[in-house]
C-alpha cells in the first residue's frame, strides 16, 4: 500500500517552478551564508554604524525582508506560469 | 520571583481557553474520517492555512524564547529570528509543492511514496515521534513558565494544564480544530505584538524604569572595600558582617557572602573599583527547596532587572516617545546593565549567582554576547563552529519539521500549498522584526525575571497594565496549546498511520485509525508533560534549536535527495534517517550545555564540546544517504525505475 492518496492534474509549469525555486533558493543561501561568514570572519564589521542602526541589524532585517520579497516574486511567476501553461490542458492526470 | 495573579487576567485567560475548547468541540462533530482527523479533510483555504502555519511556527520558542534571549543577550537572540525565517525559504522553494504532490497524511507518506519500504516507514515514523517530542519539550516548559505569573500556579501545574487541555482538543477534533485555533492565535499574536511594540516606543527609555510609574525600580547597592587580600576582606558598611569569600579554583570569580540581621546576601567583588556590587542568587538546598536571595519566594527579595546604566552619556536620564530607529540608536549609544551568571556548588547547595555586567550598547546590538564569534574576545574555533552549526540547523530544520510538513496536506492543491507558505513567510517575517523591539524593550524596562528569561515578553506586557498582559499571556498560552496540538497530531499520525497501519500492516479501518491516533495522542501528551516538568527553566528557544538540529539531520537529507537525486534508494533513505537521528541526539545528550542545564553537573568537561550538532550531523546524514544509495543500486529501487515494486528493507 502506498501513502500517496491523490492524483493531481498534470502541471506543465512544474519544471519552470522547480528551476526558479532552485535558483532563488541558491541566491538566498548565498546571502544567508554571507551573513554567517561576516559574523565569523569579521565580527567587528557587524558593529559598524549604518544610520541609526548598525550593519548587524540592517543585514538581519534585510534577510527577513529579502525572504518575503523572493517569496512574492516566486509566487507571482509561478501563478502566471500555471495560468499560461496549464490553460488549455485537458483533465489529463499524471500517471505515477 | 513571586508572582501575584490578577482576577482580570484570570477571567480573560479563562475566556480564551474556553473559546479554544469551543472551537475544538464545534469541529469535533465534523471529524469522522481519518482524512479529516489527520489532514483537516484537505480543504482548508490557503490564506487560513498560511496564518495557521504562522500560528504553528510562532510557538513558545518564538514569542517567549527569542524575546527572552534578546532581553538577556541582545542581538544573539535575534539570530534565531533570522534563522527561523530563512528556513522557510527552503520550505517554499524546495519542499512545499513536491511534498504536497507526494504525500497524503504524514511526512512518512511523502518519503515512502516511491519505495513502499518497511525500513523507511519505521525510521521516519520514529524520527517524526522523536522530533515532535523534542519540539514538545520547550512548548511545555513555556506553558509552565506562563501560568506562574498569570494564575499564580507552580510550573508543574502549567505543564499539566496544557497537557490535559491539548489531549482533550486533539483527542476530540484533530487537525481541523488545530488549524482554526492556530489561525486565530497566529493572527491575534501578530496584532497584539504590534500593539506592544507601539507601547514600548511610546514609553521611551529610562535609566530607572518604573513600569510607567507603577513600580519603583530597585536600585542595586554598592559597598566600598577598605581592604582585600586573598580570603580576607573588610568593608565600609558596619551593618553587614563578612561571612565568607567565595572563589573557584582558577579564580575566575570572586564573591563574598555578607550577613545582615541573620539574612545572607552574596556580593561581587569589583577589584578595580574596590567595591562590592549587589547580586541576585538562587540556592537549591540539598532537600530540593529553592531560596531566592536567601529568602523564600514569598519574601519577594528577587527583583526584576534590566535597565540602561547610561543613556545619552548620563547615568540618570529619561527619553520621551521614540521612533523605531531612535529607540535602537539610544540603546546603541548607551550602556545596558546586563546580568551574567555563575554556577557553583557549596556544602551540597547548588548556587546560581547573577552579577551586574554593564555592556556598551554597541556590543548588545551585534553578535557575540551569547555565541562567541570574535577571536579577539577569546572566541575559540570550536565556539565559532558552534555558531555556524546553529545557523545551519535553523536554516535546514524548518522544512523538515513534521508538524509543519503535515500542514501541506490540509490544503486542496500544490498551488495552495505554495500560496499558504507565502502568507506564512510574510506574517512570520513581520512578527520576527517585532521580536527585536519586544526583546530590547524587556532589556531596558526593568521587567526581566533573571532566573527565567522566558517570561520577559509577558512581563514586559504586564508593565503596561494587566489587560494587555492578560491578552498577551492568553495568546502565548494559546500559542503553546496550538503548537502542542499540531505536534501531537503529527506524532499520533506517525504511530497510527505510519507504524500501525503501514509498517505493522494492521490494516486498520478508517474509524480504528482515528481511534488509534487519539490513544497515541494521549500517550504522547503524557510523555510531553513529564519532560516539560523535567526541563523547567531552560530557554525555550535554545531547546527548539535542538529540535531543529534533529529534524535537519534526520529528515532534510532524505527529503532533498528523494526530490533531486534519482539514484536515491530505500536503504539510503533509511540509513540517512537513522544516522541523522543517532548522531544529532547523541551529540546533544553529551554536550556541555546539556551537562550544565539539564543534568546540573557543574565543573565537568562534557565529551562533546559543541552545543549544536548540525554542522556534523547534517553533512554526515547526506553522506550516508549518498554512499549507501550508491552501494545498493538496483532497478527496483531507483527512483526513475518502476515505482511501487517491493523494496522492503
**Residue B175 domain-assigned (yes or no):** yes
Residues of A in contact with B425 (CB under 8 A): 67-68, 71
Q: pLDDT band for position B645 (50/70/90)?
A: very low
Residue B120's φ and ψ, nearest 5 degrees, are -65, -40
Say which CATH number the domain at B104 has: 1.20.1730.10
Round the CA-based radius of gyration of chain A to a whole number and report it.
20
Mean pLDDT of B102-128: 78
pLDDT of residue B432: 94
Please name which of B339, B343, B346, B349 lies closest in space to residue B244, comparing C-alpha atoms.
B346
Model ipTM over 0.90:
no
CA distance B400 to B564: 16
Cross-strand bridge partners of residue B258: B242, B265
For B345-384, write each residue's pLDDT tens digit. Answer: 888 888 899 999 999 999 999 988 888 888 888 888 888 9
User: Which residue range is the domain that position B152 belongs to?
Assistant: 44-204+387-637
Cβ distance of A79 and B415 shorter than 8 Å? yes
pLDDT of residue B251: 64
For B438-476, write each residue's pLDDT tens digit. Answer: 999 999 999 998 887 888 998 999 899 888 888 888 888
**Residue B362 domain-assigned (yes or no):** no
Cβ distance of A65 and B429 shorter than 8 Å? yes
* Among A9, A18, A40, A58, the residue to mutate for chain B (most B Cβ within 10 A): A40
Grid coordinates belonging to A8: 493531481
Within an 8 Å CB–CB cutoff, is residue B644 touching chain A?
yes
Q: Total structural domains in chain B?
A: 1
Cβ distance of B418 and A60 shorter than 8 Å? no
Written as one string, the DSSP assignment of B516-540 is HHHHHHHHHHHHHHHHHHHTTTS-H
Residues of A in contact with B201 (CB under 8 A): none
CA distance B401 to B394: 11
**Residue B98 domain-assigned (yes or no):** yes
Within B361-509, where are the H helices?
Answer: 361-364, 381-397, 402-405, 414-444, 456-462, 466-493
Residues of A in contact with B75 (CB under 8 A): 56-57, 60
Strands annotated E in B4-141: none
Within an 8 Å CB–CB cutoff, is residue B203 touching chain A?
no
> What residue ranges of chain A have pLDDT lower than 50?
1-5, 90-96
DSSP reduced 3-state for A53: strand
Q: pLDDT band for position B249 (50/70/90)?
A: low
Cα-Cα-Cα-Cα dihedral sign, residues B80, B82, B83, B87: positive
- Does pLDDT of B649 surpass 50? no
Bigger pLDDT: B11 vs A63 = A63
B540-554 vs B614-631: helix axis angle to the nearest 10?
10
**Residue B159 domain-assigned (yes or no):** yes
Cβ distance of B422 and A78 shorter than 8 Å? no
Residue matched to cell numbers 556534523 = B616
Q: pLDDT band for position B30 (50/70/90)?
A: low
For B224-239, write each residue's pLDDT tens digit. Answer: 999 888 778 888 988 9
**Residue B438 domain-assigned (yes or no):** yes
Q: In this structure, are strands A53-54 and B222-229 parallel, antiparallel, or unpaired?
A: unpaired
Cβ distance of A64 and B85 shorter than 8 Å? yes
Cα dist from A89 to A75, B100, B464, whole Å: 21, 21, 58
Q: pLDDT band for position B498 (50/70/90)?
A: confident
Q: How far is B82 from chain A (nearest CA, A)?
A: 6
Cα-Cα-Cα-Cα dihedral sign, residues B539, B543, B548, B549: positive
Cβ distance of A8 and B414 shorter than 8 Å? yes
Cβ distance of A63 and B86 shorter than 8 Å? yes
pLDDT of residue B174: 61
CA distance B78 to B431: 12
Q: Which of B366, B395, B418 sits opposite A78 (nearest CB)?
A: B418
pLDDT of residue B635: 55
Answer whether B575's CB lies under 8 Å from B622's CB: no
Cβ distance of B367 and A39 shorter than 8 Å? yes
Average pLDDT of chain B, as a whole number: 83
Please name which of B540, B64, B71 lies closest in space to residue B305, comparing C-alpha atoms.
B71
Grid coordinates belonging to B236: 565600609
For B531-590, write each residue's pLDDT tens digit. Answer: 888 887 676 777 787 888 889 999 899 988 888 888 999 999 999 999 999 999 999 889
Grid coordinates belonging to B71: 532581553
Cβ distance of A46 and B94 shorter than 8 Å? no
Asked which of B62-66, B96-100, B290-294, B393-397 is least confident by mean pLDDT, the reply is B96-100
Count A/B contacts: CB-CB distance under 8 Å. 151
Answer whether B592's CB lies under 8 Å from B609's CB: yes
Q: Which of A44, A52, A72 sits opposite B328 (nearest CB)?
A: A52
Please name which of B267, B230, B233 lies closest in space to residue B251, comparing C-alpha atoms.
B230
Helix (H) or strand (E) holding B473: helix B466-493
Amino acid at each position: 500500500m502506498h501513502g500517496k492518496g491523490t492524483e493531481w492534474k498534470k502541471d506543465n509549469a512544474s519544471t519552470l517552478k522547480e528551476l526558479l525555486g532552485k535558483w532563488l533558493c541558491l541566491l538566498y543561501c548565498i546571502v544567508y551564508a554571507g551573513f554567517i561568514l561576516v559574523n565569523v570572519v569579521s565580527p567587528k564589521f557587524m558593529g559598524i554604524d549604518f544610520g541609526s542602526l548598525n550593519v548587524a541589524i540592517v543585514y538581519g532585517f534585510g534577510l527577513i525582508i529579502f525572504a518575503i520579497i523572493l517569496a512574492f516574486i516566486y509566487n507571482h511567476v509561478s501563478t502566471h506560469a500555471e495560468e499560461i501553461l496549464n490553460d488549455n490542458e485537458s483533465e489529463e492526470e499524471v500517471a505515477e | 520571583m513571586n508572582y501575584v495573579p490578577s482576577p482580570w487576567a484570570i477571567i480573560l485567560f479563562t475566556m480564551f481557553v474556553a473559546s479554544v475548547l469551543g472551537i475544538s468541540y464545534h469541529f469535533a462533530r465534523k471529524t469522522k474520517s481519518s482524512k479529516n482527523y489527520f489532514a483537516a479533510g484537505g480543504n482548508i483555504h490557503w490564506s487560513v492555512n498560511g496564518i495557521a502555519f504562522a500560528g504553528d511556527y510562532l510557538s513558545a520558542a518564538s514569542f517567549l524564547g527569542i524575546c527572552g534571549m534578546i532581553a538577556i543577550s541582545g542581538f544573539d537572540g535575534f539570530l534565531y529570528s533570522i534563522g527561523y525565517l530563512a528556513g522557510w525559504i527552503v520550505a517554499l522553494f524546495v519542499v512545499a509543492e513536491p511534498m504536497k504532490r507526494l504525500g497524503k497524511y504524514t511526512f512518512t507518506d511523502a518519503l515512502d511514496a516511491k519505495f513502499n519500504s518497511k525500513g523507511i516507514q519505521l525510521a521516519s515514523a520514529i524520527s517524526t515521534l522523536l522530533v515532535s517530542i523534542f519540539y514538545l519539550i520547550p512548548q511545555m516548559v513555556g506553558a509552565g513558565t506562563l501560568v506562574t505569573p498569570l494564575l499564580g500556579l507552580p510550573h508543574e501545574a502549567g505543564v499539566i494544564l496544557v497537557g490535559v487541555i491539548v489531549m482533550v482538543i486533539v483527542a476530540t477534533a484533530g487537525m481541523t480544530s488545530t488549524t482554526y485555533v492556530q489561525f486565530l492565535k497566529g493572527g491575534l499574536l501578530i496584532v497584539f505584538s504590534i500593539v506592544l511594540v507601539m507601547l514600548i516606543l511610546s514609553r521611551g527609555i529610562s535609566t530607572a524604569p518604573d513600569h510607567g510609574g507603577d513600580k519603583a525600580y530597585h536600585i542595586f547597592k554598592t559597598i566600598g572595600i577598605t581592604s582585600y587580600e586573598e580570603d580576607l576582606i573588610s568593608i565600609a558598611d558596619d551593618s553587614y558582617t563578612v561571612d565568607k569569600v567565595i572563589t573557584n579554583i582558577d579564580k575566575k570569580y570572586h564573591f563574598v557572602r555578607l550577613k545582615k540581621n541573620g539574612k545572607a546576601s552574596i556580593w561581587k567583588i569589583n577589584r578595580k573599583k574596590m567595591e562590592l556590587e549587589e547580586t541576585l542568587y538562587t540556592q537549591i538546598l540539598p532537600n530540593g527547596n529553592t531560596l531566592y536571595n536567601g529568602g523564600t519566594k514569598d519574601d519577594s527579595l528577587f527583583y526584576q532587572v534590566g535597565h540602561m546604566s547610561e543613556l545619552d552619556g548620563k547615568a540618570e536620564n529619561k527619553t520621551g516617545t521614540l521612533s523605531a530607529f531612535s529607540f535602537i540608536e539610544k540603546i546603541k549609544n548607551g550602556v545596558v546593565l546586563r546580568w551574567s551568571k555563575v554556577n557553583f556548588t557549596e556544602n551540597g547547595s547548588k548556587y546560581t549567582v547573577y552579577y551586574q555586567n554593564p555592556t556598551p550598547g554597541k556590543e548588545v546590538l551585534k553578535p557575540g554576547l551569547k555565541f562567541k564569534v570574535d577571536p579577539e574576545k577569546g572566541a575559540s574555533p570550536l565556539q565559532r563552529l558552534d555558531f555556524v552549526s546553529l545557523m545551519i540547523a535553523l536554516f535546514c530544520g524548518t522544512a523538515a519539521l513534521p508538524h509543519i510538513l503535515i500542514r501541506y496536506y490540509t490544503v486542496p492543491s500544490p498551488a495552495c500549498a505554495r500560496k499558504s507558505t507565502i502568507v506564512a513567510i510574510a506574517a512570520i517575517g513581520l512578527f520576527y522584526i517585532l521580536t527585536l523591539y519586544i526583546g530590547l524593550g524587556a532589556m531596558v524596562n526593568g521587567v526581566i525575571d533573571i532566573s527565567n528569561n522566558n517570561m520577559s515578553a509577558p512581563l514586559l506586557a504586564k508593565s503596561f497594565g494587566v489587560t494587555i498582559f492578560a491578552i498577551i499571556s492568553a495568546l502565548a498560552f494559546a500559542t503553546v496549546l496550538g503548537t502542542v496540538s499540531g505536534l501531537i497530531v503529527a506524532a499520533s499520525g506517525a504511530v497510527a498511520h505510519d507504524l500501525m497501519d503501514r509498517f505493522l500492516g494492521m490494516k486498520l479501518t478508517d474509524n480504528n485509525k482515528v481511534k488509534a491516533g487519539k490513544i497515541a495522542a494521549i500517550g504522547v501528551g503524557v510523555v510531553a508533560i513529564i519532560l516539560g516538568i523535567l526541563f523547567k527553566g531552560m530557554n525555550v528557544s535554545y531547546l527548539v534549536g535542538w529540535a531543529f538540529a534533529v529534524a535537519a539531520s534526520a529528515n532534510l537529507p532524505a527529503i532533498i535527495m528523494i526530490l533531486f537525486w534519482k539514484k536515491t534508494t530505500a536503504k539510503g533513505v533509511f540509513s540517512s534517517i537513522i544516522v541523522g537521528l543517532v548522531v544529532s541526539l547523541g551529540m546533544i545528550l553529551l554536550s556541555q550545555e546539556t551537562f550544565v542545564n539539564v543534568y546540573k553537573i557543574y565543573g565537568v568537561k562534557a565529551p562533546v564540546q559543541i552545543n549544536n550538532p548540525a554542522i556534523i550531523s547534517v553533512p554526515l546524514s547526506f553522506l550516508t544517504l549518498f554512499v549507501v544509495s550508491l552501494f545498493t543500486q538496483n532497478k527496483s529501487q531507483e527512483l526513475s525505475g518502476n515505482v511501487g515494486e517491493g523494496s522492503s528493507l
